[in-house]
Structure 1
Amino acid sequence: MRASWRGLREELAGLVLPSGCAGCGLPRVRGELCARCAGALAGAVPHRVRPSPVPYGLPRVYAALPYDGQVRRMLLSHKERGALRLAVPLGELLASVIREVLARTAGERRAGPGVVPARRRRSSGPEPGDGVLTLVPVPSARRAVAVRGHDPVRRIALAAARELREGGLRARVLTVLRQRRTVADQAGLTARERAANLSGALELVPGGARPLAEGRTLLVDDVMTTGASLAEAARAVAERIPRSTAVYAAAVVAFSPRARAHV
């Protein structure tokens, strides 16, 4: 609740008083960020990344930037320190990753099986018959949400969906995943320990399968470390929607430097 009140004060103050950068508090020229923080996000080229080892069931994952430096600071400020205004620039960055996923997918369909298309920076939108694009945030633990006063991944996903809709894409966010058992804190766990900790931990909420059968489903998260959370989320969706296209990819803002780029 403390983070929630801090975020509320920050948003109310921003309505009547000049405010600093949402990332570091320094004076800003335009938008929500100062030149330094904006520069950390500018020029990001979304690309496919893979953790090592790759957990079983992990969909293709695309990310914008490594999880270090100013990007790491901004994500932590948004998640743990109630800097809620950061959801907008982080959501815009996530939207750029999602556009790359759509571009790659569209290119693969046109090229046919076995052909890897050249990278395209933007997608022209869903192809006929694709329907709505559903963004499914990887859920945080209920206790973590209660302590923070907000769900950071959901906030970023909502900002990304707004950005995509402004560009003409039919995008929505559905929080249809939930934890069905308590999991341990992931900090300090190895890749194998994280996978064991999360195995069978997620499930679809009652009635959550039906809307996911329409169009395409894309998992979203703020950071990928070992890929265990995304693999478990994909398993939980596929458990109720038994088809290979239940989740066709995942998009994250940042990835652990331990993961490697994959073209």
Structure 2
Amino acid sequence: MLTAFLDLVLPARCAGCARAGAVVCPACAAELDADPCPRAPSPPPRGLPDCWAAARYEGAPRRAVLAYKERGRTALARPLAASLTATLVAALRATGLDAPFALVPIPSSRGAVRRRGHDPVGRLAELAVRALRSQGGPVTLAPVLAQRRRVRDQAGLSASQRAANLAGAFGVRHAGSAREHPLWGRSGPVAVLVDDIVTTGTTLAEAAVALRREGVKVPLAVTLAATPRRAR
């Protein structure tokens, strides 16, 4: 893509504040993973796993995620993946999950991948798995989720509209071979979901339902950022 090419030939500018010198400056990088903690929406949808996020979806984190996801700044994959990995490590320590597990990215539609020119969440999950495995983590990448039908763009939809839009939208590909993978847990397959942003939690909840239907335990989901949402 043109933006990715320009990142290579022009001086880097921070995606968070536009300061010259790096794709993410130290100050904005600190905002990206300043406070990894549970950030479930309120009220959470039924079936939502324990949900952690690196930051609130505002300021520098919001600008960086949008630049990476929608504006083709693929050089942001590594700093964003580092933030995601730090959040996952914090969540694993807090929840006590230490058995082998699989990192399962929320899939983009084929149309979205064509439009963006890349699969943003899939790439983040791949880099996070690589980082964890380099430290001896018992994790593997399992992109086994797929959209079973076409869904609307979620932007601008209310919580109830998102729920209706995504109901039954996910399926598990090659469930049998996935369950037999040796790193999916000693007492059965275990998955941790990965996404970029959590808003109402509907996407993560529907993905968890699809995996659980195949006998997969889904105790945790991690994201880069969470949209602040309060119960009415």
Aligned to 1:143: 111
Unaligned runs of 5+ in 2: none
Which amino acid counterpart does residue 161 of structure 1 have in structure 2?
V
Q: Is the 8 A contact 2:41 2:228 kept in 1?
A: no
Contact 1:23 1:83 in 2 (8 A): no
**CA distance in 1: counterparts of 2:156 and 2:171, whole angstroms:** 25
Match of 2:93 in 1: 103
Query: How far apart are the structure 2 equivalents of 1:237 and 1:60?
Result: 15
Q: Measure the CA separation in 1 of the matches of 2:152 and 2:68.
A: 22
Q: Is the 8 A contact 2:15 2:60 kept in 1?
A: no
1:56 to partner: Cα distance: 1.0
Bigger Cα displacement from structure 2, 220-229 vs 205-214: 205-214
Spell out structure 1 runs of 4+ moving beyond 6 A.
none
Give the share of equivalent positions with the same residue, in percent.
Answer: 44
CA distance in 2, matches of 1:100, 1:10: 35
Q: 1:196: which partner in 2? A: 164
Mapping of 1:89-128 within 5 angstroms? 89-106=79-96, 126=98
- Aligned twin of 1:33: 24
> Residues 174 and 184 (structure 1 numbering): CA distance in 2 closer, same or farther, change over 3 Å?
same
- Residue 225, structure 1, aligned to residue 199, structure 2: yes
Letter in 1 for 2:196: D
- Partner amino acid, structure 1, of 2:13: G
Q: How far did residue 25 of structure 1 move?
A: 4.7
Q: CA deviation at 1:23?
A: 4.7
For 1:160, which of 119, 123, 128 is the aligned residue?
A: 128
Separation of aligned partners in 2, 1:259 and 1:95? 27
The runs of 5 or more residues in structure 1 that have no matched partner are: 110-125
Q: Secondary structure at the match of 1:53?
A: coil
Which residue of 9, 13, 17 corresponds with 1:20? 13
| TM-score, reference length from structure 1 | 0.78
Larger radius of gyration between Structure 1 and Structure 2: 1
Question: TM-score scaled by structure 2?
Answer: 0.88
| Residue number in structure 2 paired with 1:184 | 152
Shift of 1:185: 1.4
The answer on whether the counterparts of 1:138 and 1:153 sit within 8 Å (CA) in structure 2 is yes
2:61 paired with 1:71? yes
Native 8 Å contact 1:53 1:191 kept in 2: no
Aligned length: 225
Per-residue deviation, residues 21-72 of structure 1 (Å, max 9, x unmatched): 35555322xx642244223225x12111221221111111011110001110
**Separation (CA, whole Å) in 2 of partners of 1:158 and 1:259:** 32
Q: Quick check: 1:209–1:237 contact (8 Å CA) kept in 2? A: no
